[in-house]
Structure 1
Amino acid sequence: MTLRATCLTAVAALIAAPALADVNIYTTRQPELIQPVMDAFTEETGIAVNLAFVQEGLVERLRAEGARSPADLVMTVDIANLQQIVDAGVVQPVESEVLTNAIPAELRSPDNLWFALTQRARIVYASKERVADGEITTYEDLASDQWEGRICTRSGTHDYNLALTSAMIAHHGVDYARDWAAGVRENLARKPEGNDRAQVRAIWAGECDISLGNTYYMGLMLSDPEQQEWADSVRIVFPTFEDGGTHINVSGVAMTQSAPNRDEALQLMEWLVSPEAQEIYAEVNNEYPVIDGASPSELVASWGEFQGDRIDLSEIAGHRGEALRVMEEVNFDG
């Protein structure tokens, strides 16, 4: 073959090769929290990722756009939000041995409609001055008389607390969970208000001794000069259920029904469960990886080890309605 023929063949091959499509993501997470991992994916594959922050109305937007939606993937936090997306019928199942082999069964949808990417534990923040080591060991303990007037928490109807109550239902049933929620309410030092960091501030201020919160808030407080003193006043305790482990929740991903760039979107989903991606994503967000072989950041590891509860997150999502009724019946926020 002549040099001219070789060049013409190479040009023809380039013309015939399809261009790599971008991956478009609707996310309820602040884009800066996931941009580093997307940048790493683009650098490795050449596939660009476009992030659209949708703080509210994600399901309504996908329904309105229908088959014309440009979104390939949705990324959000909390099992309740993931299940809402599934129930709305705006995502499709993804068959991938890479995903199912990497992610434990309890951290993905049984019908492959969503997949966890990172996990966080719902733990107790305890005053270093007023709570002794080993004084609290289980979530059930929170309803004990010893904590009367000593607990702070955000609203009982917030997704994070509803997930914990749903897990209590999964372990012990609705009647037990109702009595437990009533007991915790009686132990509150003040009416539920604010976010998880506000509860730690209340411990620092002496208003209460323990609070419920997600692990990653410790990282956020330590990175904020105004909140470091709050963080330094508490330690993280990993309670367990009496017949289980520490309650966890997740951030996750799902593929939309429209997914105009399905192949590239699947490539990104599979890349996100690689050790490299897991460690980047988890470190940026002060969360825990979902796969074996990926390590949490040095800071997160310093908080200690725990055994995550093995209750399937889909089961927890299924109890959300009951959990909401429990919180309303005991007037938790009243």
Structure 2
Amino acid sequence: MADDNRRPLASLADRRSFLGTVGAAGTFALAGCAGFGGGDEDPFDDYGPQGAALEPSAVSWDDLGDLEGELTVYSGRTRDQIDPLFDTIEQRYDDFTIDSDFDDNSTQLNKINEETADTRPDLFYTQSSGALASLKQDDLVRTLPEDVIDAVDDNYSDPDGEWTGASGRVRAIQYNTNLWEGGADALPNNIFEYAEDERFQGIISTRPNSGTFRSFIVAMIEMEGEQATREWVRGMVDDQNAELYSSGSQQAEEVNAGNQTVGLGNQYYAGRILENDPDAPIDVAFTENDPGCLFNVSGVGILADADKPNLAAEFTRHVLAAEGQEFFVETNGEYPVLDGVDYVGDLPTLSEINPPEFDLNALANVEQAVDLLREEGMTV
């Protein structure tokens, strides 16, 4: 087992304050950029950038077009994960507002499928790429502008250009450094051992209601088969008596407080705690080349019948521009999806973590995971 793959998450305390930086930048004027006009119309028909085109090297908000009007966004991400970015963008543009609706991915997908073209949102902001792949499968999203498609690596987006990742995360093993003896080296590098090893009985937790956990289950089905996945879930519930949380932040806080020893979750929850307290007794390790270290993205798709597709496209450029990407890295502890934005701090790289190669469009069958988890009793 390579040491790099078990590398603990280092302190993130030296990160710059994103909101302070962007708040100051919000006073800068945008020169030479066309606005989106008032009223309910989306006046542009070229679907192209109204300022600079998005680039892999990352452009600044100063170079993009003004945002003007009201954009309807359904979000599968929780408010604490994405509202600070929404608020900062709204504060920058006096005539721009986001009409946001927050709920879990499954609920949002059901609403979008049940609603008509008159009531659907302009843009869906998801917690997991599986939800975007599901919308693509149902022909409910439209092809993104070429500059957006070209700026984001195919590993982080739909190869057909119908949705794009906005930030990345990796499934990880969170652990309390005071309670778990031996540190990362004593943790298995195979996700299946966490459902079988007696050392984890009564001290392990997970969050089955999250979109990324359900995507992890879909990936396990795709990679290992349904029966092996059922046995893993059954082992976690029946043999390990895993604690089930409905909040990723709460789960990580419980591990940090010593109320849980080990937690299966996204790496950024531990990252947030360490950013605020570098000496906190929480760290992460990773399994190797299996669903337990699945790389997934939170991302966006523009609805096929959006009232304001061009406004939605320019908003997407803002999310993917330098300031948007820095928010995910510095405030959320996530990975950027543009080459031009670097990690801040000492997060392990994806090559060090060694996640499996996986087509994120294969995560579309979220209901398969929901049904399996319900049948095996892993619900909250």
Structure 1 residues 253 and 206 mapped into 2: Cα distance closer, same or farther (>3 Å)? closer
In structure 1, the residue matched to 2:122 is 72
In structure 2, the residue matched to 1:284 is 331
In structure 1, the residue matched to 2:175 is 126
In structure 2, the residue matched to 1:217 is 269
Q: What are the superposed Cα offsets for residues 281-329 of structure 1, whole Å, 9 maximum, x if unpaired?
A: 432332111122211333xx446653443211111233x3333343344
Unpaired segments ≥5 residues, structure 2:
1-34, 39-67
AA aligned opposite 1:215: Q
Unpaired segments ≥5 residues, structure 1:
1-16
AA aligned opposite 2:299: G
AA aligned opposite 1:143: A
Give the total of aligned pairs.
305
Give the distance between the partners of 1:187 and 1:277, measured in 2 at CA.
Answer: 43
In structure 2, the residue matched to 1:153 is 205
Structure 1 residues 332 and 258 mapped into 2: Cα distance closer, same or farther (>3 Å)? closer
Give the distance between the partners of 2:253 and 2:171, measured in 1 at CA.
Answer: 17
Structure 1 residues 191 and 270 mapped into 2: Cα distance closer, same or farther (>3 Å)? closer
Structure 1 residues 23 and 193 mapped into 2: Cα distance closer, same or farther (>3 Å)? closer
Percent identity, please.
Answer: 20
Contact 1:245 1:310 in 2 (8 A): no
Report the secondary structure of 2:378's partner residue: coil
Q: What are the superposed Cα offsets for residues 89-140 of structure 1, whole Å, 9 maximum, x if unpaired?
A: 5x43224332222223243234433211011222111121324232222323
Give the distance between the partners of 2:256 and 2:114, measured in 1 at CA.
Answer: 46
In structure 1, the residue matched to 2:62 is none
Contact 1:122 1:214 in 2 (8 A): yes
Shift of residue 145, structure 1, vs aligned partner? 1.9
> TM-score normalised to the size of structure 1?
0.74
In structure 2, the residue matched to 1:96 is 145
Matches within 5 A, 1:1-334: 19=37, 21-22=68-69, 24-28=71-75, 29=77, 30=79, 32-35=83-86, 38=89, 48-56=95-103, 58=108, 66-69=116-119, 71-86=121-136, 89=139, 91-129=140-178, 130-132=180-182, 133-136=184-187, 137-204=189-256, 206-222=258-274, 232-242=280-290, 246-298=293-345, 301-302=346-347, 306-318=353-365, 320-333=366-379
Structure 1 residues 281 and 205 mapped into 2: Cα distance closer, same or farther (>3 Å)? closer
Give the distance between the partners of 2:225 and 2:111, measured in 1 at CA.
Answer: 36
Give the distance between the partners of 2:176 and 2:133, measured in 1 at CA.
Answer: 35
AA aligned opposite 2:344: S
Tell which structure's C-alpha radius of gyration is larger: 1
Structure 1 residues 23 and 157 mapped into 2: Cα distance closer, same or farther (>3 Å)? closer
Contact 1:131 1:209 in 2 (8 A): no
AA aligned opposite 1:32: D
AA aligned opposite 1:72: D
More helix by share: 1
Contact 2:286 2:293 in 1 (8 A): yes
Contact 1:103 1:291 in 2 (8 A): yes
Shift of residue 187, structure 1, vs aligned partner? 4.7
> Root-mean-square deviation (CA), in Å?
3.6
Give the distance between the partners of 1:276 and 1:216, measured in 2 at CA.
Answer: 18
